Amino acid sequence: MSRYADFYRRSIEAPEAFWAEQAQLIDWQTPPQQILDAGNPPFVRWFAGGTTNLCHNAVDRHLAARGDQPALIAISTETGTERSYSFKELHAEVQRVAASLMELGVGKGDRVLIYMPMIPEAAFAMLACARLGAIHCVVFGGFASGSLASRIDDATPKVVVSADAGSRGGKVLAYKPLLDEAIRQSSHKPEAVLLADRGLAPMALTEGRDHLMAALVQKHRDAHVPCTWLDATDISYTIYTSGTTGRPKGVQRDTGGYAVALAASMKHIFDGRAGETYFSTSDIGWVVGHSYIVYGPLIAGMATLMYEGLPTQGMDRQPDGGIWWRLVEKYKVTVMFSAPTAVRVLKKQDAALLKKYDLSSLRALFLAGEPLDEPTARWISEGLGVPIIDNYWQTESGWPILTVANGVEQTRSKFGSPGVPMYGYKVKILHESTGEELSGANEKGVVVIEGPTPPGFMQTVWKDDERFVDTYWKTVPGKLVYSTFDWGIRDEDGYFYILGRTDDVINVAGHRLGTREIEEAISGHAKVAEVAVVGVADALKGQVAMAFVVPKDAAAASDEKTALLLEGEIMKQVADQLGALARPARVRFVSALPKTRSGKLLRRAIQAVCEERDPGDLTTIEDPGALQQIRQSLSA
């Protein structure tokens, strides 16, 4: 048996012994009393009775051995700034922000919503919450007021941490007006707002509520704030993710299990070592940013590189398609993590840029978030000359479900496949309707995970255990299994291939969006009667959203000019409510949408027509002419 096969088998057959061993990778204030409690499925409690702290493991425990080594390297090609913080400096910064939050009344269990661009203060704020035992809830800075307001209402934060603005491609995006509007819309009102001022956009401060971070941090310059020891099962954070309803779910994570899962993944999967530099190009608004910009690398004693900017813009804000490779050379990055879309963007640049810099420090490039197509994988693999490691996971899992564990044993990757199940994950493929296990090679079914789920996996949906069970664990009749909502197959060697979502979630440039959320934003428009949003294959972004709208009054889109005007209004409405990311690539007008006789939208058929595929079985369609209209609207 191969070394990995044995490692995997132990994790499944003797999970307690296996994870007790992995738990040694982190510091505990009190050792765990019970490694695994799976007595109330599908809920799992890992390391109960053990007390620890994420911030202690990410920062404090490294002070003795590597206090002067870099911990956080913050680079912005948007503002042309580059700043490195040692573990000692990070320790001081985090305590200053922690003291500021305490002054605003934040303590254990309180929620702090973080709505910030990729600046070091965002990482300080996350670590400060962890230090105090407060629950952070980071909302991606590209989301707009409507998305933010619904998250404020669900998380009911005591404090919001934000900034004057973000910037993308030289374009300043003011956050403060979006935040003010969100707080105006939400029924819950945070007591205080803590604001980093980058000098990018003017801010109107609300007396008594808004505080400038610089002033509070200055006041608490010499703050000493000890870590609050938390039970392993206490909540560390929530992060919202899209599903099939218009209402995003708060994915809730524990403390001890998450710390152990990350420490183990840094060793066995990413093979990142203390003293080295990790560079993830993601954003703190996504789960990758939580696990592999902030916590994972720091827990492993690595420096983490935090990057604000496009992959094609230099420090002087001039075009530079080699900026990431320049940074790899400069900071001797050993492990890099990005998304297929970013590589497809780079593919449009001169390939010679990959050879211009000394990339000898780099051991591997990890790509995740969306399917990695073979031409993209080959192009970057040949260009960099290092292994390209596809890894498949979800916001819900917190760390990779399928990949290869080169830290355990060098394992061959196959183009097109993220790899094999990671230790701790019982991954199965089930028949869509019968729920029967498909164990043969190349049989297509739904990818599911059998409990108990490993450490780091979501505990529940924030404040809604019932929704957690109903949404994820009850999709297969008669079986309590977790559905990933992805189609997959497994080949004869046990490698999995992911074939897209089974639900109405789409993936735009590696970002997960619910088509229902976009539909809700569009149906709010006064001139819209009905709408269907589908994800359509796109050469650069993987998928883009496309909207088909039935106007209330046919005249509203009767000629090209009025249609164009209405398309613009609808796009703006989505961007204003949800953010530019969710804006459909195109809006087309039709007089009816294809539905079944029972009134269910035939999204898969619409999608197939958009992608010029066979729409499949249409026996249940109410009006075949509606599909024909979709086809015609595309060529219009």
Sites of contact with ligand AMP (CB under 6 A): 241, 287, 368-372, 390-395, 418, 484, 486, 498, 501, 507, 512
In 400-452, DSSP assigns E strands to: 402-403, 420-421, 426-430, 445-450
Q: Which is nearer to ligand AMP, 313 or 417 (CB)?
A: 417
Q: Which of 231, 270, 534, 499 is nearest to 387 (CA)?
A: 270
Based on CB atoms, which residue is closest to ligand AMP, 110 or 486?
A: 486
Find, among 510, 511, 512, 504, the residue nearest to 531 by Cα: 504
Of the pair 272, 369, the CB lying nearest ligand AMP is at 369
Q: Which two tokens stand for residue 491?
A: 């080949």
The backbone torsions φ and ψ at residue 251, rounded to the nearest 5 degrees and listed phi first, read -75, 120
User: Could you tell me how many helices (H) and strands (E) the chain has, helices first?
Assistant: 20, 32
Whole-number Cα distances in Å, 607 to 122, 169, 251: 38, 31, 28
Nearest distance from C-beta of residue 381 to ligand AMP, angstroms: 15
The two structure tokens encoding residue 573 = 């409405």
Residue 498 CB, nearest approach to ligand AMP (Å): 4
Query: Toward ligand AMP, which CB reaches closer, 194 or 372?
Result: 372
CB of 627 to ligand AMP, least distance (A): 26
Would residue 288 be called left, alpha or beta, if left means φ above 0 and alpha means ψ between -120 and 50 degrees? Answer: alpha
Residue 601 C-beta: closest distance to ligand AMP, Å: 21
CB-based contacts of 388-393 (< 8 A; 24+ apart in sequence) = 388/364, 388/413, 389/364, 389/365, 389/413, 389/419, 390/366, 390/417, 390/418, 390/419, 391/269, 391/366, 391/367, 391/418, 391/419, 392/368, 392/418, 392/419, 392/496, 392/498, 393/287, 393/368
Q: Which is nearer to ligand AMP, 322 or 400 (CB)?
A: 400
- Judged by beta carbon, residue 247 or residue 501, the one nearer ligand AMP is 501
| Smallest separation (angstroms) from ligand AMP to the CB of 445 | 15
Tell me the DSSP string of 508-571: ETTEEEEHHHHHHHHHTSTTEEEEEEEEEEETTTEEEEEEEEEESSGGGGSSHHHHHHHHHHHH
The answer to whether residues 367 and 535 touch, using CB atoms and an 8 Å cutoff, is: no
CB of 249 to ligand AMP, least distance (A): 10
Within 23-143, residue ranges assigned H as helices are 54-58, 63-66, 87-103, 120-132
Shortest distance, CB of residue 483 to ligand AMP, whole angstroms?
10
Cα 124 from Cα 59, distance rounded (Å): 11
* Chain centroid to CA 174: 22
CB of 188 to ligand AMP, least distance (A): 25
Closest of 82, 155, 69, 85 to residue 123, by C-alpha: 85
Least CB distance from residue 94 to ligand AMP, whole Å?
27
Which of 181/503 has CB closer to ligand AMP?
A: 503
Tell me whether residue 489 or residue 593 sits nearer to ligand AMP (CB atom): 489
Question: What is d(CA 295, CA 534) in angstroms, rounded to the nearest whole number?
Answer: 35
* 482 membership: H or E segment, kind and range: strand 481-490
Closest CA to 273 of 357, 187, 363: 363
Please say which residue, 133 or 340, places its beta carbon nearer to ligand AMP.
340
Nearer to ligand AMP, 46 or 140 (CB): 140
Q: How far is the CB of 489 from ligand AMP (least distance, A)?
A: 12
Minimal CA–CA distance to 55: which of 107, 131, 1? 131
In terms of CB distance, is 237 or 392 closer to ligand AMP?
Answer: 392
Q: With respect to ligand AMP, which residue has the nearer C-beta, 313 or 460?
A: 460
Nearest to 297 by CA among 58, 90, 69, 128: 58
Q: How far apart are the first and last CA of the chain?
A: 59
* Least separation in angstroms between CB 398 and ligand AMP: 10
Q: Which helix (H) or strand (E) holds 338?
A: strand 333-338
Least CB distance to ligand AMP at residue 393 (A): 6
Strands 237-241 and 249-253, by their bridges, are antiparallel
Vertex 545 angle, CA 563 and 614, to 5°:
95
Q: How far is the CB of 84 from ligand AMP (least distance, A)?
A: 29
- Beta strand 445-450 with 481-490 is antiparallel
**Which of the 8 DSSP states describes residue 214?**
H
Nearest CB to ligand AMP, comparing residues 510 and 615: 510
Q: How many residues does the chain have?
A: 636
Select 72 or 545, whichever has its Cβ closest to ligand AMP: 545
Shortest approach of ligand AMP to residue 125 CB, angstroms? 22
Residue (325 or 472) nearer to ligand AMP, CB: 472
Residue 227 beta carbon to ligand AMP: minimum distance, rounded to whole angstroms: 29
Min separation Cβ 355 and ligand AMP, Å: 27
Structure tokens at 60: 């404090």
Cβ-based neighbour number of residue 406 at 10 Å: 18
